[in-house]
Structure 1
Amino acid sequence: MTRNIVFTSLLCVLAGPLQAAEPEVLFATHYAVCHGDDRLGGAGPALIPEALSRLRGEKLQAVIAEGRAATQMPAFGDQLSAEDIAVLAAYLHQPLPEIPLWDKAKIESTRVLNADYTAPDAPQHGADPMNLFVVVETGDHHISILDGDRMEVMARLETPLAVHGGPKFSPDGRFVFVMSRDGWVQKVDLWSMQEVGRIRAGVNSRNIAMSQDGKWLAVANYLPMTLTILATGDLSVAEVKDIAGKDGTASRVSAVYQAPPRESFVLALKDVPEIWEVFYGENPPFHGFVHDYRDEGPLGYDEPFPVRRITLKEILDDFFFSQDYEYVMGASRDGEGGQVVDLVIGHTIAELELPGMPHLGSGITWERGGQTVMATPHLRDGVISVIDMKTWETVKTIGTEGPGFFLRSHEETPYLWADVFFGPNRDVMHVIDKESLEIVKTLRPAPGRTAAHVEFDRYGRYALVSLWEQDGAVIVYDAATLQEVKRLPMVKPSGKYNVHNKITFSAGTSH
């Protein structure tokens, strides 16, 4: 699929009303450009019953009419009649004639390696390999590779359609892996700025995670409901795990996370109240658990990538981990609070006061007054919650000019940066003192245009802000003086990812 995402988004928004409420025509006119002609996903997710189990009846109709918070889903209430919306919602809950088979053999059949790629013995450029940025440009499906010292674009490569979730780097920082919403995983060598290859690991996918040893890449899938594990060396398929709860209920995977000290991947399940921990190390630490989790599933020691299940009080699909990966903070996009789960004992140990739909996946930590605190933005309310990581109590709620999506900081800066991604003040970037927890400056890089997603260079000297527009830019700020240094034109840049910060698990960035 090669449609330009901006063109398709405009079609989604501007397609005119129809005279007859024919569901296939409604879908083809308004939704196919974003969600695929076959409903299996494109720029947007798959629109089939398996992906819409929690949006039934009037809930789905409301999403069609009003859009969806924290996504790029536009509202169609002024373009479609109530009757058309009801017809379309019913159609989306109709099963496909057949669910595509996406097993190990099918995935392997999609693997394409670049015949022109030859692995160099050393970097083929003069930049610091640890201070490179990978910038995802969603406007025309490219990544730009940026020299973090000179702040210059070194290369620009085409990616699969609609890259989603943060790219992941190999532990040595040489390779970067990006994933698209329709399940394509692309491997790029940052030494030579060349694509190594790509493979379609799922039909509709959420994100990827890299193992501590760099051997395995886990891909979280909505469709089919699986976890795909790839060998990073040649992108071959190591394992495809079907995901189902203890009662047999099949589940999508909201996200997969790496837990390096535990030599495991941690899975958030979308449809059942469980966390899965999938081990890739030589000796899965089942003997260290309070319970023998081998009795709770096919977890024999001889099985590749054995699974441990942790039962939750409710479904959680947004996570944040402590720096030592002993604790995971979880929240539901539909809920008003959160839970703290101790991964060692496998139980919930605390409740969190987190109203306003917290976005834990963008949380960060730092040391304040001798104690580690964590901050998270909220997708529905204009606040940032600061949590004490020992008592799990709210230290402060910082008021902002609107709901935000991303927080970022760095060990070498006294500030955290918070965007206001939603609403009329989407052009705002707050700079907050990490000790006083007060806003010290409010930046407006481009009045009336969305400013989002800060990332720092490896030394914390520069803060890079995305002007999240089709004719956008990466705006470079001096992190100490808060003055603009440079603007690099980009095509709707979303995330920017610094090699050093990511592979060293900087507390100031998401993992």
Structure 2
Amino acid sequence: MGKTRYLPPLRRSLAAVSLLALLAGCQATPSDALHGTGDLGVVVERATGSLAVVDTSERRILERVEGLGDLSHASVKFSRDARYALVFGRDGGLTRVDLLTGEITHRVMQSGNSIGGAISQDGSLVAVANYEPGGVRIFDSATLAPVADIPATYRDEHGETVRSKVVGLVDAPQNRFVFSLFEAGEIRMIDMNGETPEVTRFPDIGDSPYDALIGPDGRYYIAGLFGEDGLALLDLWHPEAGVTRILPDYGRGEARLPVYKMPHLEGWAMAGDEAWLPAVGRHEVLVADTDDWSLVGRIPVHGQPVFVMSRPDERQVWVNFAHPDNDVVQVIDTETREVIRTLSPGEAVLHMEFTPKGEHAWVSARDSDRITVYDTRTFEVLAELDSESPSGIFFTDRAHRIGL
């Protein structure tokens, strides 16, 4: 048994005084100043170049972080510990924001025009997709120190070496990044496990890949094609098999409508063994069987879909739309494949985000300067938050999900 340590009366008195002094010098931290990072998220406020940091349980804005530059097409990723937001600005700015203090810890202007990025599987690297100059730049995610610069060069129809815009950049398992080249019609993969990046090219995937996605298990990378019907699929378990075309005929014999806003494939909906995707230039959501990637359904909707997003339990798919039909969100039941609710969150609905288990959906309406929070079971409006030109909504549970 251990022995009890004896303190003489004088020492006991001194110890008690010291403890009281220590407690007197401490100030209690207000309970409302403490937030677990898993309860946090951000909303991009594009007009003011700011982020609104939000609490998803209390459904309120905690604070705003300003000085982030041009956020007209901004996206956000989160560090492995979900404490830091990495913000990719349209002006080429890459900014690291501490969600707990509301401070910018690091910021670099890494290009002239960028379109998003990704964080590696181990959390150590952040990659940025650039329009100008076309390519991918990779940084240390903690310090934003440069690690690699990979130009997206290819030979054009005149044999000249030129650069392509990079789109659809995602993280993939095994510390890889995958992206598409808009003008070149290629997919490329970067392996970051060696001393230098190893780049693998997959040419001739189709006309003008405009965006891409990776499945939640990290196996399939799919690029949407703007110049033709169909999508290009790369199986990352077997990249040696090359790229396969899927859904090549979904619009055969039909005239495409004018496209006012490109669909976004990130956040695609998975429901059981089916993938739900926006059709380019059509008022339809496409449903594909993920066993053979055949088209198994076409669901008429309100307008041209932009985001087609699955509630985490996969029972519902929420869809927003391009101009001029962008004041509506429709909810589809994945079992019946029917639209079960049409919501009106405000003017110019740009983005939606589910809380981690899907009980609530947050919807941004840019031109109404409003964020609306819905109960996804009853469709009741739970909160309306004032926000200046809100667009992208990102919650920290994305830190632990592939491709998000």
* SS at 1:317 equivalent: strand
Structure 2 CA distance for aligned equivalents of residues 413 and 329 of structure 1? 20
Instruction: Name the counterpart of 2:190.
Output: 278
Q: Which amino acid aligns with 1:474?
A: I
User: SS of 1:361's equivalent?
Assistant: coil
Q: Distance in 2 between matches of 1:414 and 1:233?
A: 38
Correspondence for 1:434: 334
Q: Percent identical across equivalent pairs?
A: 25
Equivalent position of 2:283 in the other structure? 382
Residue equivalent to 2:296: 395
Give deviations 1:225-248, integer Å, cap 9, x for gaps.
332111112111112122213777
Q: Judging changes above 3 Å, is the alpha-carbon distance between structure 1 residues 249 and 235 closer, same or farther for their aligned structure 2 residues? A: same
| 1:334 matched residue in structure 2 | 227
* Cα deviation digits, residues 476-500 of structure 1 (max 9, x gap): 1111111111100111111100111
- SS of the residue 1:495 aligns to: strand
How far off is 1:182 after superposition?
1.5
1:84-113 Cα shifts (integer Å, max 9, x gaps): xxxxxxxxxxxxxxxxxxxxxxxxxxxxxx
| Aligned counterparts, 1:40-51, within 5 A | none
Can you list the C-alpha shifts for 1:273-310, whole angstroms capped at 9, x where unaligned?
3211111125xxxxxxxxxxxxxxxxxxx5x1121112
Secondary structure of 1:262 counterpart: coil
- In the alignment, does 2:362 pair up with 1:464? yes
In structure 2, the CA distance between the partners of 1:281 and 1:223, relative to structure 1 (3 Å rule), is same
**Would the aligned equivalents of 2:285 and 2:300 in 1 still touch at CA under 8 Å?**
yes
* TM-score w.r.t. length of structure 1: 0.66
1:352 to 244, 247, 251: 247
Q: Is the 8 A contact 2:135 2:166 kept in 1?
A: no
2:131 is aligned, of 211, 219, 222, to 222
Task: Determine if the alignment matches structure 1 residue 487 to structure 2 residue 391.
Answer: no
In the alignment, the residues of structure 1 paired with residue 129 and residue 244 of structure 2 have an alpha-carbon distance, to the nearest angstrom, of: 26
The reply to whether residue 236 of structure 1 matches residue 145 of structure 2 is yes
Asked if the contact 1:124–1:192 (Cα under 8 Å) also holds between the matched residues in 2, the reply is no
Q: Distance in 1 between matches of 2:229 and 2:349?
A: 27
C-alpha distance in 2 between matches for 1:279 and 1:306: 5
TM-score, normalization: structure 2? Answer: 0.82
CA shift in 2, pair 1:204/1:124, >3 Å: farther
Long gaps (5+) in structure 2: 1-30
Higher-Rg structure is 2
| Helix, strand or coil at the partner of 2:121 | coil
- CA spacing shift, 1:396–1:430, aligned 2, 3 Å: same
Aligned 1:97-116 pairs, distance under 5 A: none
How far residue 169 of structure 1 moved from its aligned partner, in angstroms, is 0.6
Between the two proteins, the alignment pairs up a number of residues equal to 358
- The DSSP-based 3-state class of the residue aligned with 1:503 is helix
SS of 2:173's partner is: helix
Shift, 1:255, TM fit: 2.0
- Give, in angstroms, the shift of residue 256 of structure 1: 4.9
Task: Name the residue aligned to 1:136.
Answer: 44
State the distance in 2 between where 1:451 and 1:317 align.
21
> Shift of residue 388 of structure 1?
1.1
CA distance in 2, matches of 1:143, 1:334: 34
Conserved 8 A contact 2:366-2:390:
yes
Change (3 A) 1:145 1:389: same
Match of 1:147 among 46, 51, 55: 55
Q: How does 1:71-470 map to 2 (within 5 A)?
A: 125-158=33-66, 159-245=68-154, 249-282=161-194, 302=195, 304-315=196-207, 316-343=209-236, 344=238, 345-353=240-248, 354-355=250-251, 359=263, 361-368=265-272, 372-412=273-313, 414-423=315-324, 425-446=325-346, 449-469=347-367
Once the two structures are TM-superposed, the CA of residue 124 in structure 1 deviates from its matched residue by 9.5
Whole-angstrom distance in 1 between the partners of 2:315 and 2:168: 31
CA RMSD for the aligned pairs?
A: 2.3
TM-aligned CA distance change 1:271 to 1:251, over 3 Å? farther
Find the counterpart in structure 2 of residue 115 from structure 1.
Answer: none
Checking the alignment, whether the CA contact within 8 Å between 1:318 and 1:360 is kept in structure 2 is yes
Could you list the per-position Cα deviations for residues 22-74 of structure 1 after superposition, in whole angstroms to 9, with x for gaps in the alignment?
xxxxxxxxxxxxxxxxxxxxxxxxxxxxxxxxxxxxxxxxxxxxxxxxxxxxx
* Cα deviation, residue 155, structure 1: 1.2
SS in 2 for 1:258: strand
Please tell me the residue identity of whatever aligns with 1:349: T
Residue 427 of structure 1 and its aligned partner are, at CA, apart by 1.4
Instruction: State the distance in 2 between where 1:403 and 1:431 align.
Output: 14
- Give the superposition deviation at 1:386: 1.1
Cα deviations across residues 357-388 of structure 1 (Å, max 9, x unaligned)?
A: 773524523333xxx21111235221111111
Matches within 5 A, 1:46-61: none
Q: Distance in 2 between matches of 1:130 and 1:260?
A: 23
